[in-house]
Amino acid sequence: MARFKSPSGGRASPNKDGSENVRTDRHRERSAFRGGEAADGTASIRLNKYIARSGVCSRRKADDLISQGRVKVNGEIVIELGTRVKVSDEVEVSGRSISPRRHAYILVHKPKNTITTTDDPHDRETVMELIALPEREKSGLFPVGRLDRETTGVLLVTNDGDLAHRLMHPGYEVNKLYRVRTKKSVKPHQLDELRRGVMLDDGIAAADKIAYIAPPDHREIGLSIHEGRNRQIRRMFDAIGHEIVALERVNYAGLTTSDVRPGKWRRLTDHEVRQLRRQVKLN
């Protein structure tokens, strides 16, 4: 079987102390009211867009919140879709005041024993604690999708609700590439099973592509999927009688952890952001 190759990604230049860098440039200083909409208190944007830019949720979900009467503008409940607001307006969602902000896009190399949430009631370390930014800058950021506690690899953190929603939606078929190490050798016919699809408790799951990484070692497997069900890869291998001893996501929508050590992070380049948005048909 053909050797499995994982694509390479962008590079992150090191800081003086050897940690991964926080890339900055003047393009990130653009107003939260962008696209020709000046943040001077007079220009307006649609309310659902305002909510999405505040990192609350996607525009589609924002429309649901508006219809449910959970959004106030200047103290008044607004339920009309298409309502426009100015940057000077006071907007609340479910009783919490919000405001649009510049979008941030951060790649984290998730290590083992970290939780992919913004906080944890059991006081376990979360991926958000790995990002060395002031709390005011981290406010509104959230991980896109989840990796279980033992899974390592590339993870996107952002406050761009529209992008996050589309990246996680199976309809956009965003590719995710994993490196799997099993306890026992996986037989060729078992790879075929995973390629055709195995039955899980939430339906059939199949690998888009699958191959041995370094034959003749049949315990190192590379596979890609476009779904994102809970613990999907582990459950797929369990369905063919194999225990996973190491699982790493090596590529997510074209992003990799190249030159980003476990537990470190970097900002995405403008080119990487454009590539992500293009994949999910966002302008």
Tell me the pLDDT tens digit for each residue of 122-143.
Answer: 989 999 999 999 887 887 899 9
- Based on the domain organization, do 159 and 271 belong to the same domain? yes
- Catalytic pick among 64, 148, 192, 270: 148
How many angstroms separate the CA atoms of 278 and 122, rounded? 38
Check which CATH number belongs to the domain holding 166 and give it: 3.30.70.580
User: What band does 111 get if pLDDT is binned at 50, 70 and 90?
Assistant: very high
pTM given for the model: 0.73
The rounded distance, in Å, linking the Cα atoms of 27 and 8 is 25
* 159 part of a folded domain: yes
Q: Are residues 262 and 161 part of one domain?
A: yes
Least confident range of 13-17, 31-35, 60-64: 13-17
The domain boundary, picked from 42, 73, 98, lies at 98
Residue 23 lies in a domain: no
Identify whether residues 157 and 198 lie together within a single domain: no
Residue 237 belongs to what domain range? 175-252
Whether residue 5 lies inside any domain: the answer is no
Give me the mean pLDDT over the 239-263 stretch: 97
For 270, the 3-state DSSP assignment is helix
Q: Quick check: is 15 in a domain?
A: no
Lowest-pLDDT choice from 52-56, 223-227, 231-235, 269-273: 52-56
Burial label for 8, CB within 10 Å (0-12, 13-18, 19+), is exposed
Known catalytic residue at 40: no
Q: Are 138 and 93 in contact (CB under 8 A)?
A: no
Measured CA to CA in angstroms, residue 78 lies from 69, 85, 244 at distances of: 6, 11, 50
Looking at every residue in the chain, the average pLDDT score rounds to 86
Sole residue written with tokens 């902000």 = 101
Q: Mean of the pLDDT values across residues 40-58?
A: 80
